[in-house]
Amino acid sequence: MPYLESLRVFVRVVELGSITAGGRDLRMSPAVASNRIKDLETRYGVRLLNRTTRKLVPTEVGRAFYDNARRVIETLDEAEAVVSGFSGNPHGALRITAPLGLGRRLIAPLVPKFCDEYPGVELRLRLSDRNVDIIADGIDLAFFLGEPQDSALKWRRIAECPRVLVTTQAYLDAHGCPESPEDLVGHNCLLLRYPRSPEYYWVLQTPEGPQKLLVNGKFDADDGDVLTGWALAGRGIVNRPRYEVAEQLASGELVAVLPQFPPIPSQFGVLTPHRRLQDPKVRLFADFIARETRGLFG
- Burial of residue 71 (CB within 10 Å: 0-12, 13-18, 19+) is exposed
Do 59 and 102 reside in the same domain of the chain?
A: no
Residue 128 domain flag: yes
**3-class SS of residue 275:** coil
28/81 same-domain check = yes
Q: Give domain status of residue 253, yes or no.
A: yes
Domain shared by 192 and 230, yes or no? yes
Q: Mean pLDDT across the chain, nearest whole number?
A: 87
Q: How confident is residue 174, by pLDDT bands cut at 50, 70 and 90?
A: very high
pTM: 0.68
pLDDT at 192: 86
Domain match, 156 and 27 both: no
Task: Give the number of other CB atoms < 10 A from CB of residue 33.
Answer: 26
Instruction: List, for residues 94-116, the tens digit of each pLDDT value.
Output: 999 998 889 999 999 999 999 99
Instruction: Determine the Cα–Cα distance for residues 215 and 189; give it in Å rounded to an integer.
Output: 6
In a domain, 6, yes or no: yes
Q: What are phi and psi of 269, to 5 degrees?
A: -155, -170
Residue at 242 is within a domain: yes
| Residues composing the chain | 298
Structural domains counted in the chain: 3
What pLDDT, in 10s, does the model give residues 51-94? 765 678 889 999 888 888 888 887 777 676 666 555 567 888 89
**CATH code at position 136:** 3.40.190.10
Higher-pLDDT residue of 141 and 129 is 141
Domain of 142, in residue numbers: 88-161+267-293
